[in-house]
């Protein structure tokens, strides 16, 4: 396949259970897709062009959750967890990190159920997200 080529296809779906059923997609005609040129020389660093603090998963959690974040450049990073009164509960990260995507685990085994906040500070970037510990 080359850039600019067109691909035509039609799918047939068959259910062979007790109620035999066949369907075509699309019902009539074809699906036509254009072949796009490949993207060359893309490095991961180019894709990481912004800071990001993702929502923890799972949320609510019991007792552990994962926190993902992304850095577009080498920078000193701190990630801290706070309770609803603003008391610092734990420091998860406190060091220089290279550009890239990261994932850390937070364990709330010793904490009570409730709302907690996690905050990243990296250079001039700062963001806070809410997480819920539900025991």
- Lowest mean per-residue pLDDT among 1-10, 19-28, 39-48: 39-48
Query: Over the stretch 22-32, which tens digit does the pLDDT of each residue have?
Result: 666 666 666 66
**Whole-number pLDDT of residue 112:** 95
CATH of 44-133, one of 3.40.50.2300, 1.20.1250.20, 3.40.50.1010, 2.60.40.1930: 2.60.40.1930
57 has a pLDDT exceeding 70? yes
104 has a pLDDT exceeding 70? yes
| CA 61 to mean position of chain CA atoms | 17
List the chain domain ranges: 1-38, 44-133
Residues 95-131 as b or e (16 or more Cβ within 10 Å = b): eeeeeeeeeeebebeebeeeebebebbbeebeeeeeb
What is the token pair recorded at 1?
Answer: 């396949």
**Whole-number pLDDT of residue 45:** 47
């Amino acid at each position: 396949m080359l850039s600019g080529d067109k691909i035509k296809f039609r799918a047939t779906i068959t259910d062979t259970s007790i109620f035999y059923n066949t369907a075509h997609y699309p019902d009539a005609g074809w699906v036509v897709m254009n072949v796009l040129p490949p993207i060359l020389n893309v490095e991961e660093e180019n894709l990481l062009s912004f800071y990001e603090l993702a929502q923890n998963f799972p949320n609510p959690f019991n007792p552990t959750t994962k926190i993902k974040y992304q850095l577009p450049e080498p920078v000193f990073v701190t990630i801290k967890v706070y309770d609803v009164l603003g008391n610092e509960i734990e420091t998860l990260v406190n060091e220089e990190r290279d550009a890239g995507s990261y994932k850390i685990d937070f364990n709330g085994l010793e904490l009570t159920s409730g709302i907690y906040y996690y905050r990243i500070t990296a250079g001039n970037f700062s963001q806070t997200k809410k997480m819920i510990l539900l025991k």
